[in-house]
């Protein structure tokens, strides 16, 4: 019997991946979630819902910041590991990013190396772990010569780099693009910098947009991410880096994306009545000045701009993302059409006013 340790099992990706693995493999799952006391444990079990009581799942608790976060786990029984846990905020400070994303990964690699029956170690990374690189981005290891838009990206690259030289370990790295929605229904469970930016547009609070209209934007659905990672984890080669993303040739540019979102918004009578114009693209310096000046007054606009700011440098950094290896390994599994996904998500966000109104369609998380 195989036993798969899944960290971050109650996170956005972790939950969907756990369900995928239950459906497509016969492995037992050890669901690793962060909890410090009984109250947090109870809350986490509730969040895990049906997963917590599934006969093939066991819940295990810990914190990656602890000295020995995996001391409660029997190393003899673990055959496979997927590392999903991370601090995922773009605004994270450097020390927190280091403690959780780098040192936490290092501790898990040490634990993995001591598991006698280990068959696979999968690290869930980010497409933006490659930093502010322009041009071709291949499914290969990168050196430390790039700068990063924020400490999150920096920490994800450092976590990857811990594996690059590990010839002794059957690792895979999954560089995931930005998750826009659950699937083609457009339902959004977890909002991020893109959803925040769209909200500013919708309410007419962002008349200028950071970025270059020709920069490509890489967006995927949670459904695709879980099934792509799941299939690679079960079947693909060891020591491979895989992009869980659309390819550079298929990706939307920022300019097309904004045009498409506005077309979707115009179908909403409230938005159409306001006669809001498309935002104008501005250079990085102008955007930084805007962020700085609004921060003096605080409020919703400032908060929203603050959420966009740590990612803004990437909107000037055009990447031609290669997906040859993952496309070949995934056979018939294709990324969702990003234009259709964006249109469905824009509609859902408007209908639910970014989750403030009860969604008319629901998902079970
Ligand atoms: N969502 C995206 O668009 C996206 C894109 C690219 C890559 N990724 C990568 O995908 C992975 C999963 O992301 P996600 O979107 O599912 O994020 P998420 O919903 O924020 O989940 C992160 C998980 O990590 C756990 N965690 C955080 N700090 C921890 C600690 N100190 N000890 C133990 N567990 C800890 C969280 O638990 P708590 O909730 O208790 O903190 C949560 O279960 C991450 O590695 C992320 O970098 C995500």
Residue 64 and residue 130 in one domain: yes
Q: Ligand 1 mean position to 223 CA, how many Å?
A: 16
What is the reported pTM?
0.96
Q: Is position 360 within any domain?
A: no
Residue 134 and residue 279 in one domain: no
Residue 211 and residue 221 in one domain: no
Q: Is 159 in the pocket of ligand 1 (CB under 6 A)?
A: no
What's the chain look like in SS3?
CCEEEEECCCCHHHHHHHHHHHHHCCCEEEEEEECCCHHHHHHHHHHHCHHHHCCCEEEEEECCCCCCCCCCCCCCCCCEEEECCCCCCCCCCHHHHHHHHHHHHHHHHHHHHCCCCCCEEEEEEEHHHHCCCCEEECCCCCCCCCCCCCHHHHHHHHHHHHHHCCCCCCEEEEEECEEEECCCCCCCCCCCHHHHHHHHHHCCCCCEEECCCCCEECEEEHHHHHHHHHHHHHHCCCCEEEEECCCCCCCEEHHHHHHHHHHHHHCCHHHHHHCCCCCEEECHHHHHHHHHHHHCCCHHHHHHHHHHHHHHHHHHCCEEECCHHHHHHHCCCCCCCHHHHHHHHHHHHHHHCCCCCCCCCCCCC
Q: In CATH, what number is assigned to the domain containing residue 132? A: 3.40.50.720
Whole domain around residue 267: which residue ranges? 191-216+252-318+337-352
Residue 306 and residue 227 in one domain: no
Residue 175 and residue 199 in one domain: no
Q: Which atom of ligand 1 is nearest to the CA of 85?
A: 24
The count of domains in the chain is 2
Q: Ligand 1 mean position to 88 CA, how many Å?
A: 5
Q: Is position 53 within any domain?
A: yes
Q: Ligand 1 mean position to 255 CA, how many Å?
A: 29
Is the separation of the CB atoms in 246 and 217 below 8 Å?
A: no
Residue 222 and residue 308 in one domain: no
pLDDT of the chain, 365 residues: tens digit per residue: 899 999 999 999 999 999 999 999 999 999 999 998 899 999 999 999 999 999 999 999 999 999 999 999 999 999 999 999 999 999 999 999 999 999 999 999 999 999 999 999 999 999 999 999 999 999 999 998 999 999 999 999 999 999 998 999 999 999 999 999 999 999 999 999 899 889 989 998 888 889 999 999 999 999 999 999 999 999 998 899 999 999 999 999 999 999 999 999 999 999 999 999 999 999 999 999 988 888 887 777 787 788 789 999 999 999 999 999 999 999 989 899 999 999 999 999 999 999 888 654 433 33
Q: Is 14 in the pocket of ligand 1 (CB under 6 A)?
A: yes
Mutate to test the pocket of ligand 1, among 5, 7, 9, 13 (most ligand atoms within 8 A of CB): 13
Residue 56 and residue 137 in one domain: yes
Residue 261 and residue 275 in one domain: yes
Q: Is position 365 within any domain?
A: no
Q: Ligand 1 mean position to 27 CA, how many Å?
A: 22
Q: Is position 359 within any domain?
A: no
Q: Is position 323 within any domain?
A: no
Residue 281 and residue 265 in one domain: yes
């Amino acid at each position: 019997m195989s036993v798969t340790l899944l960290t971050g099992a109650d996170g956005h990706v972790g939950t969907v991946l756990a369900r995928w693995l239950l459906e497509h493999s016969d492995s037992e799952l050890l669901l690793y979630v962060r909890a410090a006391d009984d109250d947090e444990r109870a809350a986490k079990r509730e969040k895990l819902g049906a997963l917590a009581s599934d006969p093939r799942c066991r819940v295990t608790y810990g914190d990656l910041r602890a000295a020995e976060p995996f001391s409660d786990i029997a190393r003899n029984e673990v055959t496979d590991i997927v590392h999903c846990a991370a601090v995922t905020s773009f605004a994270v400070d450097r020390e927190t990013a280091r403690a959780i994303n780098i040192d936490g990964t290092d501790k898990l690699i040490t634990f993995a190396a001591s598991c006698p029956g280990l068959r696979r170690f999968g690290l869930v990374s980010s497409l933006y772990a490659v930093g502010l690189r322009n041009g071709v981005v291949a499914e290969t290891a990168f050196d430390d010569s790039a700068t990063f838009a924020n400490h999150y990206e920096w920490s994800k690259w450092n976590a990857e780099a811990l594996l690059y030289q590990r010839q002794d370990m059957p690792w895979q790295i999954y560089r995931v693009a930005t998750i826009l929605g659950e699937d083609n229904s457009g339902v959004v469970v977890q909002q991020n910098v893109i959803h925040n930016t769209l909200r500013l547009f919708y309410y007419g609070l962002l008349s200028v947009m950071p970025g270059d209209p020709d920069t490509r934007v890489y967006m995927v659905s949670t459904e695709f991410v879980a099934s792509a990672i799941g299939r690679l984890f079960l079947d693909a080669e060891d020591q491979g880096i895989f992009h869980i993303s659309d390819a550079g040739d298929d990706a939307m540019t920022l300019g097309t994306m904004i045009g498409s979102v506005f077309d979707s918004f115009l179908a909403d009578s409230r938005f159409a009545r306001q006669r809001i114009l498309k935002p104008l693209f501005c250079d990085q310096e102008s955007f930084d000045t805007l962020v700085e000046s609004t921060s003096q007054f605080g409020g919703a606009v400032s908060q929203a701009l603050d959420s966009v700011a740590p990612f803004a440098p990437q909107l000037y950094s055009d990447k031609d993302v290669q997906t040859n290896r993952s496309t070949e390994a995934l056979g018939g599994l294709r990324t969702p059409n990003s234009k259709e996904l964006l249109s469905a998500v824009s509609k859902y966000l408007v209908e639910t006013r970014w989750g403030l109104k009860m969604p008319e369609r629901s998902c079970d998380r």
